[in-house]
Amino acid sequence: IDIYSDGADIQDMKKVIDYGFIDGFTTNPSLMKKAGVKDYLSFAKEVVATFPDLPISFEVFSNDFETMEKEAKIIHSLGSNVFVKIPVITVDGQSTAPLIKRLSDQGIFVNVTAIATVEQVQAAVEAFHEGTTNLVSIFVGRVADAGLDPTDFVKESVAICQKVPAAKLLWASTREVANVYQAAQAGVDIITVPPAILTKLQNVGKTAAEVSLATVKGFEKDISSLGFS
Ligand code: E4P
């Protein structure tokens, strides 16, 4: 499975690259707001200039197809490693499949985002132009956050995407390290992971005994700053 970093803080992006296992990046408007990004395009340009060889996704901001297409072209022009995130529906609930088709037909690499149903996965892959590479971002964590079991959603999404060479399935909304194993086991192509969880992923390879020892050492370190009376 490929592992992407999910965030919009450029310092975090530089830091996680040093872990040596990052294959790409995803961002979204909420992550940009959280990271304090002031100017979208300057931020995107800086990220592309810093990581010119890794796949990076940036989302369009608008909701009408015409403006979305204009934004998509600008974002696409930033670099050959850039994917344009198009939400699978508009805020009014309208399917963006016709727009995705238009963009994909023009050779724009699309990352269809905010997907939460199998029907949305199906509609996305049907819109991809043959011979192109596009991403299908399933928001597994958000589905689970809503109290829904995402197991079948993941399984069926894998089955759909495996039949479509133009589609790579991306597990988004990662909530814990275990999700990386679940995604890999299910046959998902890519998982995007927040930096805080990527940091934990560095523990991978430790034995259970080593985890226990590291735990008590951590307690000991923190105890040293506490009084006992
Ligand atoms: C990735 O492309 C998504 O933007 C991201 O994983 C969303 O994560 P969240 O549900 O934690 O906001």
Active-site annotation holder among 85, 168, 217, 221 = 85
Look up residue 39 and give its DSSP letter.
-
Q: Quick one: which atom of ligand 1 is closest to the CA of 170?
A: 2
Q: Whose CA is nearest to atom 3 of ligand 1?
A: 172
141 lines ligand 1 (CB under 6 A): yes
What pLDDT shows up at residue 229? 74
Whole-number Å distance between alpha carbons of 55 and 57: 7
* 109 pocket-lining for ligand 1 (C-beta < 6 Å): no
Is 173 within the bounds of a domain? yes
Flag whether 127 is in a domain: yes
Token reading at 64: 């009408």
Residue 217 lies in a domain: yes
Tens-place pLDDT, residues 82-123:
999 999 999 999 999 999 999 999 999 999 999 999 999 999
Q: Is residue 229 included in any domain, yes or no?
A: no
Beta pairing partners, 139: 172
Determine the Cα–Cα distance for residues 10 and 16; give it in Å rounded to an integer. Answer: 10
| Residues paired with 113 in a beta bridge | 87
Mutation test residue for ligand 1: of 30, 61, 139, 171, the one with most atoms within 8 Å of CB = 139
Check pocket membership of 26 for ligand 1, CB cut-off 6 A.
yes
Q: Is residue 228 part of a domain?
A: no
User: pTM for the full model?
Assistant: 0.91
Query: What is the mean pLDDT of the segment spanning 40-69?
Result: 97
Residues whose CB falls within 8 Å of the CB of residue 7, separated by 6 or more in sequence, listed in order = 13, 25, 27, 31, 35, 194, 195
Is the CB–ligand 1 distance for residue 195 below 6 Å? no
- Where is 87: in which H helix or E strand? strand 82-87
With vertex at residue 17, the alpha carbon angle to CA 13 and CA 23, rounded to the nearest 5 degrees, is 100
Tell me the pLDDT of the chain averaged across its residues: 96
> What are the φ/ψ torsions at residue 204 (nearest 5 degrees)?
-60, 135
* pLDDT tens-place string over residues 160-187: 999 999 999 999 999 999 999 999 999 9
Q: Which amino acid is at 73?
A: K
Question: Does 223 or 187 have the greater pLDDT score?
Answer: 187
- Confirm whether 217 is a catalytic residue: no
Angle of CA points 155, 24, 116, to nearest 5°? 35
Q: Give 213 Cα–ligand 1 centroid separation in angstroms.
A: 33
Distance CA 117, CA 121 (A): 7
In a domain, 6, yes or no: yes
ipTM of the complex: 0.98
Residue 126's CATH number: 3.20.20.70
154: which 2 tokens?
């993941």
- Take atom 7 of ligand 1 and give the residue whose Cα is closest: 173
Q: What is the number of structural domains in the chain? A: 1
**DSSP annotation of 129:** P
Strand partners, 191: 3, 171
Q: Could you tell me if residue 179 is inside a domain?
A: yes
pLDDT, position 118: 98
Q: Which residue range(s) make up the domain with 135? A: 2-223
For 152, the 3-state DSSP assignment is helix
Instruction: Retrieve residue 56's tokens.
Output: 């990076």
pLDDT of residue 105: 97
In a domain, 95, yes or no: yes
Give SS3 for 3: strand
